[in-house]
Amino acid sequence: MSGCNHDCNSCASKCDHVGKPLLEKTNEYSNVKKVIGIVSGKGGVGKSLVTSLSAIVFHRQGYKTAILDGDITGPSIPKVFGIKGKAPFDEHGLLPATSKEGIKVMSVNLLLENETDPVVWRGPVISNMVKQFWTDVSWGDVDYMFVDMPPGTGDVPLTVFQSIPVDGIIIVTSPQELVSMIVEKAVKMANQMNIPILGIVENMSYLSCPDCDKKISVFGESHVDEIANQYGLNVIAKLPIDPALASACDKGELESFCADWFSGMFSGWNQ
């Protein structure tokens, strides 16, 4: 019904959903303990980068991590990890690919004949694919799964929030004031869906001068602290523009990249 937030416990209306759980279960060969969604109000702000760094940071802390690439029409996760070829399978079905350091990854690019083939599908098909990544892939034991979602508040984010037991989300933004406005849409969607917001990551926050180390606000002054204060949220990190980081992603060597500005970015909520 119109205006439904899919929380049947707090609903006084009587409809077809009452008593019927919407969340999908994983298969018997998957044991995923925590699911963290990475979202943004628009594209191009570095959502896939934050997803990848999150998995790497937690993996370095000793957790078993995985990435579900929900950006079906713009998948980039396999590229930054240097993963090529098709996803493996065994007698139990489809398996996630594994990065050099052991991070599990499932992406539509691991199912295509060529990684440059476009995915020209309508919304419901894309949403069902994301749901199948959760229900049909044999993930094994995973402490933290990070879901890289497409930008906006459309079909796929809605499917993830309704079908997958998301424990919390991270909102990714950049300094432009226009993006700040769109961040508020993501915050309000999460609140409507009763999904906890773990915090905000501002990407491309500044550029450090290689000569004097002065921080240059390439895209203007940041507004992320204002938004965070408005909604009582934590600013997890402000990531700089770093050519070395971009090069590591292009080469598929992100796991070999180290920098102090993200090594402790998620301490405090990884409990």
Tell me: the pLDDT tens digits for 222-268?
888 888 888 888 888 888 899 999 999 999 999 998 876 665 555 55
Q: What's the angle, vertex CA 231, arms to CA 226 and CA 237, rounded to 5?
A: 60
Helix (H) or strand (E) holding 66: strand 65-69
Give the pLDDT confidence of 206-233 residue by residue, as tens digits.
Answer: 888 888 888 888 887 888 888 888 888 8
Give the integer Cα–Cα distance in Å for 38 and 51.
6
CA 37 to chain centre: 5
Q: Rounded to two decimals, what is the model's pTM? A: 0.86
pLDDT of residue 98: 96
Quick one: which of 104, 107, 171 has its CA closest to 142? Answer: 104
Contact 108, 119 (CB under 8 A): yes
Instruction: Output the six-digit token pair for 262.
Output: 């993200």
Instruction: Output the six-digit token pair for 237.
Output: 């990190």
- Low-confidence residues of the chain, pLDDT below 50? 1-2, 5-7, 9, 16-21
Quick one: which of 62, 94, 55, 61 has its CA closest to 78? Answer: 55
